[in-house]
Amino acid sequence: MNVRVGEADFDDDRDVNGFIEVLDSYASASVGGGSPLAPDVRERVVPMLRQHPTSLVLLAFVDDEPVGVAVCFFGLSSFRARPLLNIHDLAVLPKYQGKGVGPALLEAVEKHARRKGCCKLTLEVQDDNTRARGVYRRFGFEDYDLGPTRFLVKPLDE
């Protein structure tokens, strides 16, 4: 299977619709929360990604069909005084999982990060998402243990 990865062109309806389809598939799965994207989110996400100054959105294609996405954001490692790239979402349509799409997206993400002089790639993955964890480990990601730390969130919903 030939997988091609490129930056999403949000001026192209095919890229926009493909991005939304893959993201909605991910959101609808148990690992993504189990609920499809809300209609207002479907309308806002692309314009917000366009406006966000550090976003990088990559789409994976098989036979010109969008089948995977990596939504990334550049940040800064204050301890290294260099940029980093966080993979915020990495998703592949279910029928293309296990066929090399995820690793192709990760390779493209790494190329972008290296071109920008990033010191590392970061991501979060649920403990019970063993399939994704296996892909990430094979790609060279490892647990980052700072001791007893927690990822915290404070929702700011309206």
102-139: pLDDT as tens digits: 999 999 999 999 999 999 999 998 888 889 999 999 99
**pTM of the entire structure?**
0.92
All structural domains of the chain, each given as residue ranges with its CATH number in brackets, are: 3-139 (3.40.630.30)
pLDDT at 32 (0 to 100): 86
Nearest-angstrom CA–CA distance, 17 and 120: 30
**Over 80: is that where the pLDDT of 70 sits?**
yes
pLDDT at 116 (0 to 100): 97
pLDDT at 153 (0 to 100): 81
Q: What angle do CA 110, 59, 114 make, to 5 degrees?
A: 15
Tell me the percentage of the chain whose pLDDT exceeds 90: 82
Using CB atoms within 10 Å of the CB of residue 67, give its burial: 0 to 12 exposed, 13 to 18 middle, 19+ buried.
buried
Nearest-angstrom CA–CA distance, 123 and 150: 14
Q: Name which residue leads in pLDDT, 59 or 33.
A: 59
82, 118 contact by CB (below 8 A):
yes
SS3 labels along 43-90: HHHHHHHHHCCCEEEEEEEECCEEEEEEEEEEEEECCCCEEEEEEEEE
Position 46: which residue type?
Answer: V
**Over 70: is that where the pLDDT of 154 sits?**
yes
Q: How confident is the model at residue 158 (pLDDT cuts 50, 70, 90)?
A: low
